[in-house]
Amino acid sequence: MSNDKIIDGKAFAEALRERIGTETAALKDAHGLVPGLAVVLVGEDPASQVYVRNKGKAAAAAGITASDHRLDASTTQDELLALVDKLNNDPTVHGILVQLPVPDQIDPNAVIDAIAPAKDVDGFHVINTGRLATGQMDGPDAAMVPCTPLGCKMMLEDRLGDLSGLNAVVLGRSNIVGKPMAALLTQASCTVTIAHSRTKNLAEVCRGADILVAAVGRPQMVQGDWIKPGAAVIDVGINRIDAPTTEDPDKTRLVGDVDFDSAVEVAGAITPVPGGVGPMTIACLLANTVTAACRQNGITPPKF
């Protein structure tokens, strides 16, 4: 196996964060503008706490002011919406992220809908999804693009260059990854198929792809013989499976939606899990925050 096949998301994200840092310094020098990101966490979900902490560290390192708003698990929906409204009206806050999942008494869709579309750095608001679907990508009212698909597209263009004319299969139809990924690839002039667990002849559909994005949430579902020789494979899946050893019968490990060992022998380029798509998500959140800050202040955003 050649290391040239590996799309190193960790290294790509580090380089992107460096570019973001350069741009935030330039914004401060030229306009006195410091991008601000507000991260809201309701409850004490351990994984969410780790994500929020990592986002705060990454933001600070990139010259972005990050504020944490931690609310008790018993917080009501009205209390959370009141905080969101306050942040919407705070001119020092350019991006708002409410960490999901939220406790059962809160409707996540109501929270997403309450965030001002211009500050929706997750790109989940229906106005942003509509703008993305219709190709409204430029200007002050352009779409905020969900972070994971944005990172996937960046890595594909870095590796493949012009994507136009390529056959792309997106395996998964979620609002967070599958649908926005398909929209981005369509705008890049790919021929796009959205496939999923109920697609007939799924392996055959995948084998027709020059680009295969796996985001179905099933560990190691995509096998090497599902992949067209030389195809670019982006594995969005993060699944923890049992990997017991004699020394540690409870040991687990992270795998993607693609069986990496068989796929890497066939693919022309592939993201590993971990170290592929994951690091790009936080980096693109920071990029979206800078973009949002520029748009809200009448400044042309940098191209990341």
Indicate which residues carry an active-site annotation: 55, 99, 122
Q: What are phi and psi of 119, to 5 degrees?
A: -105, 5
DSSP track, 252-289: EEEE-SB-HHHHTTT-SEE--SSSSSHHHHHHHHHHHH
Bridge-based pairing of strands 232-235 and 269-270 is: parallel
- For CA atoms 77, 79, 84, 88, the dihedral sign is positive
Complete edge-to-edge strand list for the sheet that includes strand 232-235:
191-195, 167-171, 211-214, 232-235, 269-270
115's CB contacts (< 8 A; 6+ apart) are 84, 88, 96, 98, 125
The Cα 255–Cα 278 span in angstroms is: 12
In angstroms, what CA-CA distances link 178 with 20, 87, 190? 26, 29, 15
98 token code pair = 């409410």
Sign of the torsion angle spanned by Cα atoms 16, 145, 170, 185: negative
Dihedral, CA of residue 215, residue 217, residue 223 and residue 224, to nearest 10: 40
CA dist 304 and 285 (Å) reads 12
Phi, psi of 93 (to 5 degrees): -105, 120
What type of residue sits at position 2? S
* CA–CA gap between residue 90 and residue 119 (Å, rounded): 11
